[in-house]
Structure 1
């Protein structure tokens, strides 16, 4: 979008927050870059230049605006609605892969050469992987400086910097303030309710309807791994350097996030995974506009706009749970999952509540005895085959996965029909166009609305909803009075 100067100028002059994260405005006279909704008086059009990423602005010598804090805007929705090389690279950078494994590790995960990855990122984002990762480190550092009492040395390494000197130099360059000055300028926030916990705010594009988003996570919560407590959805997190516990509470203009981590180096990836699970980088205006063009869907969208797709913090975990949920009730699926957790999950301590385990990793489940599973024989085969392929790496479902390739690999496994493949594509892979025409709830809702309700006919009608059919699924599911569609009172 940054190449359409007239459109960008109109967005800046109207201070349109819908475009925050889509592009950045660099002011040539002040050498500052801003988000489109910056509250200051817009500069003259001839003094504006537009960039596709904060990293590109920083490379050109612009520093972040102290008023609008462009580094804290929601991420671009582009990276979660595409499955090409650039989008997959951005998702991996968000997961901290460059900080952990360098650019060669990023390229290996993507299956391309380092040069190919760098060339495509430069062409689309105006910055290479190192600059993009550096911008993310600066953003994480600012967040920790302003919202936590952590010592600066701890913040430097938690944000992914290799040294305190690099941390200091980067913060000064990007924000035109020393780390201590940033902290002095920040408003004093109330302390966290638990020792060692970090309290953060996760921004999103409005509107956001939390009912089905949190309702789905709560209704399907696996005992010991997830719970609803004191108005917050809480769960354990398996992370590269350790584990964590997160509590997420919906608020009108943000999602409150309280994180406890065994290793602060996992902070960036924990935030990234929580944002992904809650679909916070979505563009609800674009989604709802497309779906509202269908006169039969329009009343559903108008009644409760801003529905998101509930996703996951662990793609392998969700795939296992999707198999456990085949042809059984939500309660039965939770029971099956809880048994796996109790038998094979890694114990964790949770001083705040009732979380007891991490969901078992594929490597742990690959060794289980099929005869110990209280499942039909065919589903035992489906589950054991799935975890074996996940454990040996022959099946990849991470953020780097190509959606169609992953679908093809899943379809080759025994017991994976269209419903299971598409629900994994929707909630684990993150494909915004995944669709479930064979789902009983979808077919019932379609019939009640006057839509075609046979799978083939409904698939044909849904072509007009593309590329947002996963969101259409949420609106159709929401017509049913089911616990997944509401937050407990």
Structure 2
């Protein structure tokens, strides 16, 4: 698990391997950037801790893990901790206490840290405007975005963009290209070989995984392939960039970059169908999936939403009805 070192005398926290050599008595350790930031430390500009994956500890309680997954999906973008607690059947006070005890930060602090670190990656990797980056990262306003970046990095977004290194920018012939950092050990070829692909929705060619997705009724495509010794490269072809942080985080979960190659799911309904009715998945795609013509690579449809399958008899229809009952 990644451990971040914070230096009391400088007020800066670093990722493992940073060249800084502080005295041991001046160092505090944290398991998450959000915890270091909640304690008043700012991210190191040299080692750039936002470029490493930060998985939760294995002994993190299920309630906290569930809350984190909801935050990653955007639960705090337009709601507060009271609403998040209500979704989990606990009070906001109890949820904050659990987060503080196990993550070192409140749910709001955890969400803010993830948004700020994702925005920092976009400032490095992409040529998106500062305004686009603010909303792509899940911030509700430019003022909120600017304040968070000052608090976490002590610089404005424009100053951070000016500080990016020449090799940071990722050029792409279309779409938005980003690094997906992973924690070692991680074997991309082993991940690809363990995938059970849904025909028409997913494909693998030349060590690149591709899949279709749907955003508010409009189709998109993701491409994930080898990048470097500590990251994959994701290229997102989407109808718009607002909230893209959640797409990127779901992609990271899907290919297990924060869980040492343990594969996740794109969405709960799709995951349930693939586990409980795998033989039905391909037929559902052809019958109910949104057609996505012209992509190539064997991609023809997006996986259907539960609303499209709710009247389907059998296991798939039951799963769709159960999923919609939870919304």
**Matched pairs, number:** 324
- Map 1:433-452 to 2 at 5 A: none
- Map 1:255-274 to 2 at 5 A: 255-274=232-251
Cα 1:241–1:382 shift into 2, 3 Å: closer
- Per the alignment, residue 199 of structure 2 pairs with 223
Shift of 1:148: 0.9
CA distance in structure 2 between the aligned counterparts of 1:182 and 1:193, rounded to whole angstroms = 25
Query: With structure 1 as the length reference, what TM-score do the two structures score?
Result: 0.61
SS at match of 2:230: coil
Superposed CA offset, 1:368-403 (max 9, x none): 3x4xxxxxxxxxx3333333322323xx9xxxxxxx
Shift of 1:149: 0.8
- Map 1:349-428 to 2 at 5 A: 351=295, 353-368=297-312, 370=313, 381-393=314-326
Shift of 1:360: 0.9
SS at match of 2:237: strand
- Per the alignment, residue 90 of structure 1 pairs with 68
- Per the alignment, residue 224 of structure 2 pairs with 248
SS at match of 1:247: strand
- Per the alignment, residue 178 of structure 2 pairs with 200
SS at match of 1:264: coil
Determine whether 1:43 maps to 2:40.
Answer: no
Determine whether 1:344 maps to 2:288.
Answer: yes
Superposed CA offset, 1:91-120 (max 9, x none): 222222111433233212222111211121
Structure 2 residue aligned with 1:34, among 10, 14, 19?
14
Q: CA RMSD in A?
A: 2.4
Structure 1 residue aligned with 2:57, among 78, 89, 93?
78
Determine whether 1:277 maps to 2:277.
Answer: no
CA distance in structure 1 between the aligned counterparts of 2:104 and 2:30, rounded to whole angstroms = 7
- Per the alignment, residue 186 of structure 1 pairs with 164
Cα 1:321–1:76 shift into 2, 3 Å: closer
Shift of 1:248: 0.8
Superposed CA offset, 1:338-385 (max 9, x none): 3311221123466565433221122211123x4xxxxxxxxxx33333
CA distance in structure 2 between the aligned counterparts of 1:238 and 1:310, rounded to whole angstroms = 20
Query: With structure 2 as the length reference, what TM-score do the two structures score?
Result: 0.89
Structure having the higher strand fraction is 2
Matched-pair contact (CA < 8 Å) for 1:24–1:51 = yes
Structure having the higher helix fraction is 1
CA distance in structure 2 between the aligned counterparts of 1:209 and 1:338, rounded to whole angstroms = 27
Q: Which has the larger radius of gyration?
A: 1
- Per the alignment, residue 264 of structure 2 pairs with 311
Shift of 1:138: 0.6
Superposed CA offset, 1:134-161 (max 9, x none): 1111111101111111111111111122
SS at match of 1:199: strand
